[in-house]
Amino acid sequence: MGDRIASVRLGHYAVPLAFAVSDAKVATGRQRPLTHIDVLTCEITTTDGLTGLGFSYTTRAGCRAQFAHAKEVAPNLLGEDPSDIGRIYERLLWAGASVGRSGVATQALAAIDVALWDVKAKRAGLPLAKLLGAHRDSVRVYNTSGGYLQAPIEEVKERAAQSLKDGIGGIKIKVGQPDMRADLRRLAAVREHIGDGTPLMVDANQQWDRPSALRFGRVAEEFGLVWIEEPLDAYDAEGHARLAATLDTPIATGEMLTSVPDLVRLIDLRGADFLQPDVPRVGGITPYLRIAALADHAHLQVAPHFVMEIHVHLAAAYPRDSWVEHIEWLSPLFAERLTIEDGRMRVPDRPGLGLTLAGDAAKWRLDDIEIR
């Protein structure tokens, strides 16, 4: 009869950050500083004794809802062939059809979907990147976590230098403060500190209106940025497209979008030079692969958002050399560490995602349930 799913274990963890961070949304009073990441984990065990680990996440509210939804649909997995990911995903979608195909509903499925891909790659004895069809064994990596707005410029410079010393290949800093001149001063200071040859990006976290974004973009051309990220509201695909067509500096966006159709619209309108899909936010690896295929067809570059632990595999399997985002916030949750050298992150050579939960992860667990 073949292998079958025997049990599913779901967990909700709140992983604290070493220090609270603030981006433009905090600087303008829309959000509070970020102090921890909420993670929904899914561990699948099969009758053959294989195990898979997947996860989804939220910054701030939403993870309790993800956990509740996953718990409600998970009984549909029992007795299924774990290799039939397409059929299982559709079944889970239909189980929750009433709450739609985006946002919390599909983010809950993402943890399950990633766990199923992990099982599949482990069965093949391959790292996930190789199961998908890798183009390379390492991907370009840049650091984000050192460049937030609450940090004084001297601290941002120090952290940037440390990242480069650690082998990371690029630096991103946050912008989008109420006073644009303050952004430009920080940008100039970091550019001078890391030198003209080091890849540098900025991220405005949706802070500007169209005229402000254009003004910033024109002034910033001289800094030779790899990209300007989320200059506008995440859903302003037309505005992003106009900026991308007007500026020499590439535009990056897409991290806040939570469904395939939302990202397809961005691709169709050419709203991003660098598309930034996020596996947990779009509902898992299964929908992500559709987005990646369309992005490649449109000749776009891809720089997936956050969760480097998953995205290192997806970026390695994308035809064009991609960037992954170095944010170490989830590292305490996992026993393994990713290898970074010469500006690149190496794809782990362990089967699957190459991840296991750390022995002491339970101290951040808020909830868990086993379904069998």
Distance CA 356, CA 138 (A): 21
User: Which residue out of 12, 122, 174, 240 is catalytically annotated?
Assistant: 174
When the beta carbons of 80 and 203 are compared against Mg ion, the nearer one is 203
Whose Cβ is closer to Mg ion: residue 170's or residue 352's?
Answer: 170
Q: Which is nearer to Mg ion, 77 or 308 (CB)?
A: 308
Which residue has the closest beta carbon to Mg ion? 203
CB of 152 to Mg ion, least distance (A): 21
Q: Is 36 a catalytic residue?
A: no
How near is the Cβ of 296 to Mg ion at its closest, in Å? 22
Smallest distance from Mg ion to CB 229, Å: 5
Residues of this chain that bind Mg ion (CB under 5 A): 203
In whole angstroms, the minimum distance from the beta carbon of 255 to Mg ion comes to 5
What CA–CA distances, in Å, run from 326 to 15, 27, 118, 152?
17, 23, 22, 20
Return the number of the residue (43 or 203) whose C-beta is nearest Mg ion. Answer: 203
Residue among 175, 257, 253, 180 nearest 211 (CA): 180
Report d(CA 42, CA 211) in Å as an integer. 44
CB-wise, 134 or 171, nearer to Mg ion?
A: 171
Q: How far is the CB of 172 from Mg ion (least distance, A)?
A: 8
* 313 classed as catalytic: no
Q: Return the active site residues.
A: 174, 305
